[in-house]
């Protein structure tokens, strides 16, 4: 990042800034000079304009957590079905 995430006047159209701001809300450091990794997460048919892309930028850790939550949920459903017999 060229500057602190709060210092970007056009933060809504900057993917790395959106990710950095979310990182800071979770207590993770994000400041000028940091490299902020991100990936774009889209559903089929979603708007891919620059602003929409920035809103859909996710840190790889966010994606991993979401995948883990889905896996945990799927395992729970299978266990419940097995227990119900």
For the chain, strand residue ranges (E) read: 39-40, 57-58
Domain total in the chain = 1
38 in a domain, yes or no?
Answer: yes
Q: Which pLDDT score, from 0 to 100, does residue 30 have?
A: 96
Q: 41, 47, 32: which is closest to 1 by C-alpha?
A: 32
End-to-end Cα spacing for the chain? 54
Q: Residue 41 sits in which domain range? A: 5-60
The 10s digit of each residue's pLDDT in 7-30 is 999 999 999 999 999 999 999 999
73 in a domain, yes or no?
Answer: no
Name the band, by pLDDT with cuts 50, 70 and 90, for residue 3.
very high
Name the band, by pLDDT with cuts 50, 70 and 90, for residue 85.
low
The 10s digit of each residue's pLDDT in 34-78 is 999 999 987 777 666 655 788 889 999 988 888 888 888 877 777
The Cα–Cα gap between 25 and 6 comes to 12
Asked if 15 and 35 touch (Cβ cutoff 8 Å), the reply is no
Q: Which pLDDT score, from 0 to 100, does residue 78 have?
A: 73
Q: Which pLDDT score, from 0 to 100, does residue 51 have?
A: 57
CATH code, domain carrying 35 = 3.40.1820.20
pTM of the model: 0.74
């Amino acid at each position: 990042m060229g500057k602190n995430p709060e210092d970007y006047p056009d933060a809504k159209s900057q993917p790395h800034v959106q990710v950095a701001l979310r990182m800071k809300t979770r207590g993770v450091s994000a400041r000028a000079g940091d490299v902020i990794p991100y990936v774009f997460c889209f559903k089929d048919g979603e708007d891919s304009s620059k602003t929409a892309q920035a809103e859909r930028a996710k840190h790889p850790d966010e994606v991993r957590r979401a995948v883990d939550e889905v896996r945990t949920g799927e395992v729970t459903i299978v266990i419940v079905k097995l227990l119900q017999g």
